[in-house]
Structure 1
Amino acid sequence: MKKVLVTGKFDLLHPGHIRLLKFAKECGDHLTVAVLSDSSCEEPCRISESHRLEMLNSLECVDQAFISSDDASIIIHKIKPAIVVKGKEFEERNNPELSALQCYGGKLIFGSGEFESNAEQFIRRNSSAKNHFDFKEIKEYISRHRIRQPDIDNTLNTIQKLDVLVIGEVIVDEYVQGTAVGLSQEDPTIVMTPNKTDTFLGGAAITAGHIKAIGARKVNLISVIGEDKASNYVKKYIDNYELDTYLYTDNSRPTPLKTRYRAGTKTLLRVNNVRQHKISLELQADIFNKVENLIPELDIVVFSDFNYGLLPQTLVESITKLCENNNVKIVADSQSSSQVGDISRYKNMDLITPTEREVRVALNNPDDGLVILAQKLAKKSQAKNVVITLAEEGLFIHLPSQDFSKWENDKLPAINKHAVDPAGAGDCFLAASSLALCTGAPIWQACYLGSLAAACQVGSVGNTPLKRITLEKAIEDSFK
């Protein structure tokens, strides 16, 4: 039997840890994990050694785990594993385990696992759980960060005093709901019969809509649309969101339209009618002049970038400098699920919220684990807070120090375990967490609110503004 050993603190077990351990398990037959004891850790852990051990034992890929105060070299001499696995980020560092392994021919392997995999599936779960909202881990998170319900209530009240500007592409989201009737005999294609079509305002419009619905005093929206049926839909329904809207027309591009074909709760196909070339210099100047006029009354600017050309780098840099000169907070989300984007081009943001794929693309880094990945992005972009969203795995929170020499991490799971439509989770998280951060709330509290908002949002089909009363009910339930 080929034994594999991994050692570490495993404080606040996150998906990056799980992927590393899954990779380690695949390197041999039996995975042993040595968990550093509380007394042997240089810096105090947020989670006690017994709880850390319990979390590791809950993983299907871990065969054995134990608490140890010994150095890795001593542990290696005791159990003589065939392989020791460490994260990819340690490959170019000094690794004392190597000399201990060489004594008997053991190997040291570096790897961080495959980021495309879903780490959640490797956690042993109680299959009888029926509730859609799972507050177990968020209650532990609340306890770790000493979050109190009166503080959350105060944050929600302060949000009502904020003036916000959202800049980004307005998208029309079309849902064609139907019934899958079978497989075509001519070619391997699913055949569906459409039953109804629902249309929603998405993109930067829904981000602004969430911000207004959650309670911001005034929300401005700047965007560019075409001259087509989709633009007529935007003009007809945008007022329902109670925004102060500034829409500029560009005849060279269509209004972004995304059509999803769905059967039951599954999306079969998505068709995007978009263009990605940059808006003209004239339009850029018009947008900057509008931001310049609005800036004296603003508390925060939100870049809701879908990388369809509305936010060229020069415009982003000009608006960022304008915000810095006027002490206006800035947050950014640069989505690139089916298009090319670079979240790291948003410099000096108070918060950035990329997906893991978007971070790896921005850094050209397929190897590093989540912690090192987040730190490299924070350093490159000079972001004050980085939140990496992980779809059904939840999110990873990274708080760097001012000189980027140290950092704190935490994670939050996906609270809604039965998402009906995940399309609006990121927009809703960005809206709620940005507002909370703007009130002066710590990043931990901002992410708590953002996670609850996202959990509420994914419970129904279509991205519509989250009702504040729905969020308040989820907050109340999380503290019970």
Structure 2
Amino acid sequence: MLTNSIINLFKKTRVFLVGDIMLDRYVFGKINRISPEAPVPIFLAKSSKEVLGGSGNVLSNLVALGTKPAYLTIIGKDVPGKKIKKLLKNLGFKDYTLIIDKSRKTTVKTRYISNSQQIIRIDEETSGSVLKKIENEFLKKIDNLLKNKDVIVISDYNKGVINKRVCEYIIKRGNSLKIPIIIDPKNKNFDIYKNSTLITPNQLEASRISQMNIDSNAKTEKCGNMIMKKYNIKNVLVTRGDKGLSLITKKASYHSPTISKEVYDVSGAGDTVLALIAASFPNKIEETKALTLANKAAGKVIGRIGTSPISLNELFDNVPRQHYNKIFDIKLLCKKLEEDRKKGFKIGFTNGCFDVLHFGHINCIEKSKMYCDKLVVALNSDISVKKLKGKNRPINNELYRAKILSSLEFCDYVIIFNEKTPLSLIKKIKPDLITKGGDYKSKKIVGENEVKKWGGNVLTLDFVRGLSSTNIIDKLKT
């Protein structure tokens, strides 16, 4: 099936999504010493971001894929709940229903990240089923939201929204309307998922429920068949970590090996797979194609730090083939960033001459992307480089340099500026985060004072010592 055909099918897909929502908070910083008070590390916070988590991340992925979701969930009457409302509004769609339960906390997961590694996660939540009156109110909303839907998605994080009564009701109504029901199960009791169309347990969940050691394709198939038979479920998709994905159906089994990728953060990968399968399943996209897309999407998101959705451009590799589409003037860039902010994206900014692009540059740009959703790379123009480096520079003209930068998958936007520093540009763009290589001291980073005024942060990244364009040029001369 052609890419454009799949995209068009995604855009027509009407999804009813229900599940536990949470606020995912990320705090980025560094650990450089041990506390004198106790034998514990001191974490120096540098920046933070908040995004939709749980079923909210599934929603973000469904929106990014172009589908038409209707969403139902429960939040608490608290500050995190208000933040979730704002993030939902920023997604740019209105078809969501939030039921407020004053007796519950909105779930918050705070992850502390140092040098691309998660140090600790702190959870704030109320576990257990919701109050009966809230449950009744929740059930009353379902029938209306199910109208004219192509697929039902239940994202069960076992936080209380999806209990036995709710799950069984949705499955019963879905089956009566002949709407496929896809479930990401976290409840240890799979009885509540009986008679659904497809479930997506991870390897640990599938192994636990089947009491099998799943260490091969054959054993995964046996496990899937057992689950299908015992719980009358038509299809089982097992997410197997570095082994990829396995889809077991009544007719056949399909295995999609993982797409090799350096893993930075696995949180949210299952949500991305769930969204891809939900967009593909009602459109009868071939099983092998759907698995390949889901695997590719998961491979993209685990290469980032933090929960974030997959875009159609990333999924179908359109962006790397259209390098010039990444090069913007200031007017168009500001317009584009305004659209990104409405979707809740965190904007990062880095800059440089990037005259002779080397590993140190690429390493810094790639790490910058890990701390934001959209990365702007500001490039000194030929005039600017001459002012900074001398009359014999640059070696490569600004167009060549811009095109090379735009070919990097972790670079979202490139803009060229003529001034010695990007201060004027920073004031217009107003990024949430400025990053520079670790050879810069924080007080010397241009735009630090400005970005902190509007609530942003500056982050210095570790750099590769001894690598610079100047050193490379000097070496070539000898």
Greater shift, 452-461 or 425-434, is seen at 452-461
The 1:158–1:232 alpha-carbon spacing in structure 2 relative to 1, beyond 3 Å, is same
**Contact kept? 1:166, 1:304, Cα under 8 Å:** yes
Q: Match of 2:261, as an amino acid?
A: K
Residue equivalent to 2:8: 157
Matches within 5 A, 1:456-471: 456-471=300-315
**Contact kept? 1:304, 1:333, Cα under 8 Å:** yes
Tell me which of 284, 288, 309 is aligned to 1:444: 288
For structure 2, which runs of at least 5 residues remain unmatched after alignment? Answer: 322-478
Tell me, yes or no, if structure 1 residue 349 matches structure 2 residue 200.
Answer: no
**Distance in structure 1 (CA, Å) of the matches to 2:220 and 2:288:** 18
Q: Match of 1:410, as an amino acid?
A: Y
Matches within 5 A, 1:227-246: 227-243=77-93, 244-246=95-97
Matches within 5 A, 1:137-286: 149-150=1-2, 152-184=3-35, 188-216=39-67, 218-243=68-93, 244-286=95-137
SS at match of 1:400: coil
Greater shift, 447-456 or 162-171, is seen at 447-456
**Distance in structure 1 (CA, Å) of the matches to 2:210 and 2:96:** 34
**Distance in structure 1 (CA, Å) of the matches to 2:201 and 2:258:** 16
Tell me which of 120, 139, 152 is aligned to 1:301: 152
SS at match of 2:64: helix
Quote the offset at 1:445 in angstroms: 2.3
Quote the offset at 1:188 in angstroms: 4.7
**Distance in structure 2 (CA, Å) of the matches to 1:348 and 1:383:** 5
Tell me, yes or no, if structure 1 residue 358 matches structure 2 residue 205.
Answer: yes
Q: Match of 1:348, as an amino acid?
A: N
**Distance in structure 2 (CA, Å) of the matches to 1:357 and 1:234:** 30
For structure 1, which runs of at least 5 residues remain unmatched after alignment? Answer: 1-148, 402-407
Matches within 5 A, 1:32-71: none
Tell me, yes or no, if structure 1 residue 417 matches structure 2 residue 268.
Answer: no
Quote the offset at 1:195 in angstroms: 1.2
Report Cα offsets for 1:390-449 as digits up to 9, x if no partner: 223322222224xxxxxx333222214113322121111110111111111233222122
**Contact kept? 1:256, 1:272, Cα under 8 Å:** yes
Residue equivalent to 2:354: none
Residue equivalent to 1:310: 161
Q: Match of 1:390, as an amino acid?
A: R
Report Cα offsets for 1:6-34 as digits up to 9, x if no partner: xxxxxxxxxxxxxxxxxxxxxxxxxxxxx
**Distance in structure 1 (CA, Å) of the matches to 2:320 and 2:190:** 34
**Contact kept? 1:278, 1:312, Cα under 8 Å:** yes
SS at match of 2:113: strand
The percent of aligned pairs where both chains have the same amino acid is 26
Residue equivalent to 2:238: 388
**Distance in structure 2 (CA, Å) of the matches to 1:444 and 1:382:** 23
**Distance in structure 1 (CA, Å) of the matches to 2:311 and 2:206:** 31
SS at match of 2:158: coil
**Distance in structure 2 (CA, Å) of the matches to 1:192 and 1:347:** 46
**Distance in structure 2 (CA, Å) of the matches to 1:186 and 1:391:** 39
**Contact kept? 1:226, 1:252, Cα under 8 Å:** yes
**Contact kept? 2:58, 2:274, Cα under 8 Å:** yes
Q: Match of 1:206, as an amino acid?
A: N
Residue equivalent to 2:341: none
**Distance in structure 1 (CA, Å) of the matches to 2:190 and 2:240:** 16
Quote the offset at 1:186 in angstroms: 6.0
Aligned residues: 317
Quote the offset at 1:240 in angstroms: 1.7
**Distance in structure 1 (CA, Å) of the matches to 2:220 and 2:36:** 45
The 1:160–1:192 alpha-carbon spacing in structure 2 relative to 1, beyond 3 Å, is same
Residue equivalent to 1:37: none
Residue equivalent to 1:428: 272
SS at match of 1:278: coil
Quote the offset at 1:366 in angstroms: 5.1
**Contact kept? 2:21, 2:52, Cα under 8 Å:** yes
